[in-house]
Structure 1
């Protein structure tokens, strides 16, 4: 029976050192995959160290700056040297920048773009040659990529990532490689923990489910998109946002009329 089980498959997860990335790595290990978890830190982050020690070698950590082409090349060579292929790539690494439109600089846009968009492109370019038919790529976008969210550099990067994902799905489809995008909403992560209380209150007011999401809820969708259960799904964009992007701001109007 087709299942979530990924035994014998190797999946690379970027930005795996905390929050959402760690949850994705953990769930993939539990599904039987070998996970190559990457992040900026030279030493294995604490959460991953615990997972690595209990996984029986199913999780391997590698330092990686996703904006560094040479780093990606080195990772690909390291994987090849072990005789592994790549069955999945999760482009999860991302940064934010909260400048408003009239305050944002070109440097702000460039810095966020290099990680959120160019990092995903470099990963696809480096690891696709190691993939066979049946492999899958999941790019982690954001509800900001589906709306006119206010932090312009971050929002622009996530809209750009959508375009990259669609082109990749089209170009890699003939090789049997699927490419899909997950768009998390307001998820409890170290990144969102720094948001101002007023931002949290206003955002919760726009979420039909009335709560923040958990990292495991995003990881579950990522697992589905990497598994054989989604074998005919490519070019899809799946919001994991409690309904936030679905109403186009109508919730505030509806609530005001009650």
Structure 2
């Protein structure tokens, strides 16, 4: 496989848009997500290679990347996997906090830990993480905002650590994404302002491309008007 990208959380709404964008650019996609019908359906697409992985489990991620090795060394990692939970400080409990940390932060760290030495051995690569507008400003559910703030900081730190290995690390910061799940609770006004997954996918693909070679350590707002 000459040109490929690993996408985590690939079976979600944003993940499917990212897969479509990269396939349109001629890259094979190695799609990592939890086992289930959405991943199975995604894997039926030409050029998409599904791998069921518990991304919050370090050992499972290591096994998953061993399977990635059988397909070749990807030029990019797009780490979309994550979770959301509403709630104020008064509502917060240990399970919610731990769950968001595992899904948003641990999943990113374990995949970066697996990807970095492989990319370095191949001469470099690009990593894109997904933070959130709430990571840097505004009202938000406290545990989600804290975990996404950690994602943003991880991307900044890894950009410096991996720069000598020619690995670029950036983050995108969505606000409200126009997905079926979000439309179930959005007002008509907010739905009209929400950002299409396909538009965010184009920004992600740019950050992975050679055109973005000078960019590392950036947190790119993809808020639209939301």
TM-score (norm 2): 0.91
Shift of 1:110: 1.1
Match of 1:59 in 2: 48
Match of 1:20 in 2: 14
Alignment partners' CA distance in 2, 1:118 and 1:8: 29
Q: CA RMSD of the aligned region, Å? A: 2.0
Q: 1:80 aligns with which of 69, 93, 107?
A: 69
Residue 172 in structure 1 maps to residue 162 in structure 2: yes
Q: 2:219 aligns with which of 237, 245, 249?
A: 237
Residue 227 in structure 1 maps to residue 200 in structure 2: no
Match of 2:127 in 1: 137
Stretches of 4+ moved more than 4 A in 1?
A: none
Shift of 1:213: 0.8
Aligned residues: 224
Q: Report the secondary structure of 1:148's partner residue.
A: coil
Shift of 1:75: 1.4
Task: Note the residue ranges of structure 1 that are not aligned, 5 or more in a row.
Answer: 1-6, 245-258
Residue 33 in structure 1 maps to residue 27 in structure 2: yes
TM-score (norm 1): 0.81
CA deviation digits over 1:147-202, x for unaligned, max 9? 133211111111111111111000000000000000111111244245364xx75x
CA deviation digits over 1:37-69, x for unaligned, max 9? 11112455365145x1xx2xx210110111011
Task: Note the residue ranges of structure 2 that are not aligned, 5 or more in a row.
Answer: none
Distance 1:189 1:87, change over 3 A: same
Alignment partners' CA distance in 1, 2:28 and 2:186: 38
Alignment partners' CA distance in 1, 2:178 and 2:18: 14
Bigger radius of gyration: 1
Shift of 1:100: 1.2
